[in-house]
Structure 1
Amino acid sequence: MKINDLLVQVIEPSRVQRHIIIDSLRQLGIHDIEDFESAEPALARMQVVKPDIVMSSMHLPDMTGTELVIKMREQPDLADITFLLVSTETHYRYLEPIRQAGAIAILPKPFSRSDLMRALQSTMHYISDRQQEEEDDLFDDMSVLLVDDSALSRKFVHQVLSAAGIQHITEAKDGAEALQFLATQSFDLVISDYNMPNIDGLELVDHIRNHSTQPTVPVMMITSEQNSSRLAAIQSAGVSALCSKPLSYDMVKQLIQQLVADRDI
């Protein structure tokens, strides 16, 4: 897939901001663009013509960007559309559900051309890999344990792993359930959220490294945590890699290849 093959839907109530986003896309070679002022007409259009990526503001006349992406994820026909938030919003209450639902990127206003290009390239690679009929031989037999208390987040990460060619994926809703799976199954990789009830990601890593029969299994921690002391604690606990939300498809795929196969892209 080439960048000029993308169909992009832009949802932005401000005419000025809408023109800025559209002009930026056109400068990168994207000309198949549909634009909307609000979410409901955009959702209706998605049912007719499915875009490759939705670029949306956070605050829309009829709903928030958070509500929009959740509505998309709840509809099977729209669940796998990549979502990119363009917003000045910095409040955790608004951004965390977007991260959990699987935004491909969160771009600030104003955004740089390089940031936009990076997000679009990651999207193209995700779509291209997902559309391939043959799985990547590198990941054919890989067994992954995916741990996250958010069903939306698990669904998105599962889609990302499937696009990369990984098919053997076991899901756990928290660290406690993950330990039950680890006691009876062997895994090539553990991908875990940090903030979870019962047993969080930090406790899970500690148990894997010090009390399990798989102490050397690679553990990738995915988190939206911003506290530097907590991040330092995660790293010192023995995680193999730390990924920030929103996830970049290219980054996730590269890290998995490095962790499990010791191979760069």
Structure 2
Amino acid sequence: MQNLLISDLHILLVEPSDTQAKIIKGLLTREDVHGVDIVKNVAQAKEEIAKHNVDIVVSAMYLADGSGLDILESLKNDVSTSNVPFMLVSSETSVQKLEKFKQSGVAAILPKPFEPIHLHRALNTSLQLLNTEELDLSLFDINHVRVLLVDDSRLARNHIKRVLENMGIEQITEAENGAHALTFLKDQEFDLVVTDYNMPEMDGRELSEYIRFNPLTTHIPIIMVTSESTSSAHMTNIQQTGVNALCDKPFESDEVRAILVNLLDQKEGS
């Protein structure tokens, strides 16, 4: 199947403000996106999505009959639409409110107002979720890479799993938290662990420390995915526990691709 281009995209824009909708549509047109339908609320968005002719949903956070989160969760909980990328456009800065979107599998979050470069990056990120490009490793067959994916959010796991599968990774074992992950680590071999940081029972830090201090697992590379800023002092301390790489949520293909090339080729060649 031929990969989509930005010019091929059909976007559903959910924006209650006529002025904002016009501005965003104009910026999309500048990015060579010409298939844009505009609706104003959750009900209209769900009606359009049900027609199955939407490639990406771009939505404001606050709508008259609900929020963008209602649309996102509806998308991700329906098997027929779970692969449709969702981009949030919002001036909201509340960490708690944005966290809900990150845990539900948002592809990109754009500040309002945003610059064209922000939109360009978000479109490319969403496009990578729609397209498949197998990762070419010189010392490792990507189809044989065994990954343990740990996250307490099913929707977040689905998003990360999709990014990995689009790169050619087929062997992915899912765990709901660190304690659940331990049951797999004791019985199976893995080439990579991708774990969330904030989880109940056993968080990502505790899991990473177990992996590093256990002689049978100490060699496994660890990628930690977090909603916190990866440049914060707190996350720098986390990295000192033996985590090989930190990734922000949303989990972006370009960043992950570079990390995998570095970790897996380096691991196999060491």
Q: 2:162 is matched with which residue?
A: 159
Say if 2:126 is the partner of 1:118. Answer: no
Aligned letter for 1:254? Answer: A
CA distance in 1, matches of 2:225, 2:51: 34
Q: 1:97 is matched with which residue?
A: 100
Q: 1:59 is matched with which residue?
A: 62
Deviations 1:150-174, CA, capped at 9 Å, x for gaps: 1111111112211221110000111
Q: 1:108 is matched with which residue?
A: 111
CA distance in 2, matches of 1:252, 1:70: 24
- How does 1:169-184 map onto structure 2 within 5 Å? 169-184=172-187
Judge conservation of contact 1:222–1:243 (CA < 8 Å) in 2: yes
CA distance in 2, matches of 1:208, 1:42: 44
Q: Which among 236, 246, 253 is matched to residue 249 of structure 1?
A: 253
Question: 1:212, CA displacement in angstroms?
Answer: 4.4
Unaligned runs of 5+ in 1: none
Moved more, 203-212 or 29-38: 203-212
SS in 2 for 1:140: helix
CA distance in 2, matches of 1:49, 1:72: 11
Deviations 1:216-252, CA, capped at 9 Å, x for gaps: 2110000112493421221111111100111212222
CA distance in 2, matches of 1:194, 1:93: 15
Deviations 1:50-103, CA, capped at 9 Å, x for gaps: 311111000011111112211111111111100100000111232111101111
CA distance in 1, matches of 2:221, 2:240: 14
SS in 2 for 1:252: helix
CA distance in 1, matches of 2:23, 2:93: 21
Question: 1:262, CA displacement in angstroms?
Answer: 4.2
CA distance in 1, matches of 2:198, 2:113: 30
Deviations 1:135-157, CA, capped at 9 Å, x for gaps: 96841101000001111111111
Moved more, 185-194 or 227-236: 227-236
Q: 1:75 is matched with which residue?
A: 78
Aligned letter for 2:14? Answer: I
Say if 2:43 is the partner of 1:40. Answer: yes
User: CA 1:212 to 1:56, structure 2 compared with 1: closer, same or farther past 3 Å?
Assistant: farther
Unaligned runs of 5+ in 2: none
CA distance in 1, matches of 2:100, 2:109: 12
CA distance in 2, matches of 1:111, 1:68: 21
Aligned letter for 1:33? Answer: V
CA distance in 2, matches of 1:17, 1:147: 38
Q: Which among 178, 198, 201 is matched to residue 201 of structure 2?
A: 198
Paired residues, number = 260
Question: 1:19, CA displacement in angstroms?
Answer: 0.7
Q: 1:185 is matched with which residue?
A: 188
Question: What stretches of structure 1 move > 3 A for 4+ residues in a row?
Answer: 134-138
Question: 1:183, CA displacement in angstroms?
Answer: 1.0
Q: 1:237 is matched with which residue?
A: 241
Root mean square deviation of aligned Cα: 1.8
| TM-score normalised per structure 1 | 0.93
